[in-house]
Amino acid sequence: MTTTTGDIVLDPFCGSGTTLVASKLLKRNYIGIDISKEAIKLSQKRLDDPIKTNSRLMEVGLDAYKQKDELELAILKSINAIPVYRNTGIDGFLKEMNDEKPIPIKIQKASETLDEAKRKLISAAKVKLSNFVVLLTNQNCDNQEVSLTEEFGIKLLLIPKYECHIKDALNGKILSQDINKLLHAYI
């Protein structure tokens, strides 16, 4: 939805007033509502002296922030995950929730050890208040099986890389479930 000069913008939970300041700078009328007296004071202070800053995203464009290669995007798409950019600990989120909390996914990078990948994922999950995470590893396929552990109160599902599943299938160890079904079995 867009507005034009002179339109009214309503922000019923205005908080610090970012929407109101943007409205004022774009010559829109605005109405801000908030239950917090402190938020109202802060909004009013920002409206009295609005500051326009330049957005890095607007300067360089969205493509500058997309840092996933085609394989990572294909993997995320195959497990019905929404990609996340500019986050070293999370590559995407499953569309499903666990106990009404988001489920972060990380694909271990070639430059990361398994411990580094785990640490980054667990750290990012804490910020997102997630209690269940999925790490797709790039570890050697030998004796690498799906495992569910708990670290720092967060359930961690480790899934060996896709090549391991293909190797198992070629060696006659055909999996009874694809990755998507496997994920949902643990959620």
* Structure confidence by residue, pLDDT tens digits, 59-115: 766 666 667 778 888 888 888 889 988 788 999 999 888 888 889 999 998 888 989
In Å, how far are 106, 134, 174 from 157, measured between CA atoms? 10, 5, 20
Do residues 48 and 113 share a domain? no
- Whether residue 116 lies inside any domain: the answer is yes
- Whether residue 104 lies inside any domain: the answer is yes
Do residues 34 and 102 share a domain? no
- Nearest-angstrom CA–CA distance, 113 and 92: 19
Give the DSSP H/E element, type plus range, for residue 155.
strand 154-159
Do residues 73 and 99 share a domain? yes
Which residue range(s) make up the domain with 41?
8-53
- Residue among 161, 156, 149 at smallest CA distance from 125: 156
Q: Which residues contact 171 (CB under 8 A, 6 or more apart)?
A: none
Do residues 38 and 117 share a domain? no
Do residues 80 and 117 share a domain? yes
Q: What percent of the chain has pLDDT over 70?
A: 76
pLDDT of 42 higher than 90: yes
Do residues 27 and 113 share a domain? no
pLDDT of 20 higher than 80: yes
Do residues 76 and 38 share a domain? no
- Whether residue 182 lies inside any domain: the answer is yes
Do residues 12 and 103 share a domain? no
Helices 37-48, 18-25: axis angle to 10 degrees equals 20
pLDDT at residue number 178? 52
Do residues 25 and 85 share a domain? no
Comparing 137 with 60, the larger pLDDT belongs to 137
Do residues 109 and 171 share a domain? yes
Q: What is the mean pLDDT of residues 159-179?
A: 56
Do residues 108 and 87 share a domain? yes
| DSSP three-state, residue 123 | helix
- Whether residue 108 lies inside any domain: the answer is yes
pLDDT at residue number 177? 45
The count of domains in the chain is 2
pLDDT at residue number 163? 59
- The CA-to-CA distance between both ends of the chain, in Å, stands at 36
pLDDT at residue number 176? 39
Mean pLDDT of the chain: 81
| DSSP three-state, residue 117 | helix
pTM value?
A: 0.57
pLDDT at residue number 174? 44
